[in-house]
């Protein structure tokens, strides 16, 4: 039987002893990380009265605690197995080690049963992130999710979701978001509708979220769908039609500027305020008119800005095209008909953009 006793004072430790010490040090560091993680999770939950929790990747607070406890049990078990003991204590340590191994195996098995695959998806509105995410899980024929407001790794639960047959609507972009300026109204399908557009006018929203305004949103993202429920409805009068077009023009202009890399200025190096951009009238057809927004932007990175602006328009349902050295995004169903982008950075350091509404009848 090999000697598992600690080396005598002054003796040079063997390789096995050195390896045991290294494992012990690594285990101590890992155990310290586990303790700090548990302290963070419990501290956040206690400090906020249970309103906030921690989300790290696909793991929420409960998942983090489960993983941390399993890791702690395994680390302690490894420590008990590698710690050097004198021969006279070996008979006592053998049953302790066997019990620790059995406990660690049970902890791992329970952890694998308790932990479920979680898919975390951001809620996207008009190609921009909203500051909300959905963590979705499924088991057998049921699916469920939690909607969180995200602040870094800290999240606050604001709503819950469900799904039939384990369907995850937000991971599959089976949802529509309507932004009314104050709230975000969200509709989603609880079952797999095979890409069928969601008609938001046919039912009340699944849940409503407060719009987070004091934050910088990332745009040019894909997510959700631009189904029948999110296309601008046909107004009943010329005045209403013009108002709907103006609102959509303002929204798409804001999306365009928000998608650019800051700082965003005009040709005179004056910061561009989306609210200050005004549309002009342009002729179309025989007697109709349309809204026109012309922008000349200088950004922190024109190449990235052009890519992100085009991606933002594509993300909200516009088709791609290209003509005469310009990139085009166009739609035949929306109030805003097209965007034309011409990057002339090598000539004048600017990106030239033209946004056109659909043609409105006169009167």
State the pairing for strand pair 336-344/154-164: unpaired
What's the average model confidence in pLDDT over 149-155? 84
What's the average model confidence in pLDDT over 134-144? 80
Which pLDDT band, with edges at 50, 70 and 90, does 201 fall under?
low
Check residue 230 and give its pLDDT.
42
- pLDDT of 149 higher than 80: yes
Which pLDDT band, with edges at 50, 70 and 90, does 318 fall under?
confident
- pLDDT of 298 higher than 90: yes
pLDDT in tens, 344-357: 999 999 999 999 98
What's the average model confidence in pLDDT over 135-152? 82
Check residue 339 and give its pLDDT.
93
Q: Tell which wins on pLDDT, 91 or 306.
A: 306
- pLDDT of 340 higher than 90: yes
Check residue 351 and give its pLDDT.
94
pTM as predicted: 0.54
Q: What percent of the chain has pLDDT over 70?
A: 87
- pLDDT of 187 higher than 70: yes
Check residue 281 and give its pLDDT.
86
Check residue 104 and give its pLDDT.
87
Check residue 124 and give its pLDDT.
87
pLDDT in tens, 268-297: 889 999 888 988 888 776 667 888 999 999
Check residue 2 and give its pLDDT.
44
Which pLDDT band, with edges at 50, 70 and 90, does 233 fall under?
very low
Check residue 223 and give its pLDDT.
76
Structural domain spans, the chain = 15-114, 119-210, 238-357
pLDDT in tens, 243-268: 888 888 898 999 999 999 989 999 88
Sign for the CA dihedral angle at 133, 137, 142, 144 comes to negative
* Average pLDDT over all residues of the chain: 81
Which pLDDT band, with edges at 50, 70 and 90, does 362 fall under?
low
- pLDDT of 19 higher than 90: no
pLDDT in tens, 25-68: 887 888 888 888 888 888 887 887 777 888 887 787 788 888 88
What's the average model confidence in pLDDT over 103-114? 85
């Amino acid at each position: 039987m090999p000697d598992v006793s600690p080396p005598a004072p002054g003796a040079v430790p063997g390789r096995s002893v050195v390896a045991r010490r290294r494992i012990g040090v690594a285990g101590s560091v890992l155990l310290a990380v586990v303790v700090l993680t548990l302290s963070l999770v419990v501290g956040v939950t206690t400090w906020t009265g249970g309103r906030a929790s921690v989300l790290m990747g696909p793991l929420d607070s409960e998942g983090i605690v489960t993983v941390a406890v399993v890791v702690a049990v395994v680390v302690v078990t490894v420590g008990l197995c590698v710690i050097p003991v004198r021969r006279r204590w070996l008979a006592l340590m053998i049953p302790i080690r066997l019990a620790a191994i059995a406990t660690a195996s049970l902890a791992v098995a329970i952890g694998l049963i308790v932990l479920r695959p979680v898919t975390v998806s951001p809620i996207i509105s008009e190609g921009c992130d909203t500051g909300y995410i959905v963590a979705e899980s499924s088991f057998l024929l049921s699916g469920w999710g939690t909607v969180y407001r995200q602040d870094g790794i800290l999240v606050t639960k604001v709503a819950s979701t469900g799904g039939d047959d384990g369907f995850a609507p937000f991971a599959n972009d089976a949802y529509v978001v309507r932004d009314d300026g104050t709230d975000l109204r969200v509709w989603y399908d609880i079952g797999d509708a095979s890409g069928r557009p969601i008609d938001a006018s046919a039912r009340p929203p699944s849940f409503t979220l407060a719009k987070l305004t004091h934050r910088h949103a990332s745009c040019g993202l894909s997510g959700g769908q631009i189904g029948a429920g999110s296309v601008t409805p046909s107004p009943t009068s010329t005045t209403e039609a013009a108002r709907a077009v103006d609102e959509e023009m303002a929204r798409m202009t804001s999306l365009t500027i928000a998608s650019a890399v800051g700082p965003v200025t005009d040709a005179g190096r004056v910061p561009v305020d989306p609210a200050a951009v005004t549309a002009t009238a342009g002729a179309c057809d025989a007697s109709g008119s349309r809204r026109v927004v012309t922008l000349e932007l200088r950004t922190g990175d024109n190449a990235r800005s052009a890519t992100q602006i085009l991606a933002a328009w594509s993300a909200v349902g516009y088709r791609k095209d290209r003509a005469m050295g310009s990139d085009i995004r166009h739609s035949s169903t929306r109030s805003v008909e097209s965007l034309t982008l011409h990057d002339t950075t090598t000539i004048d350091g600017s990106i030239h953009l033209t946004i056109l509404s659909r043609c409105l009848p006169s009167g």
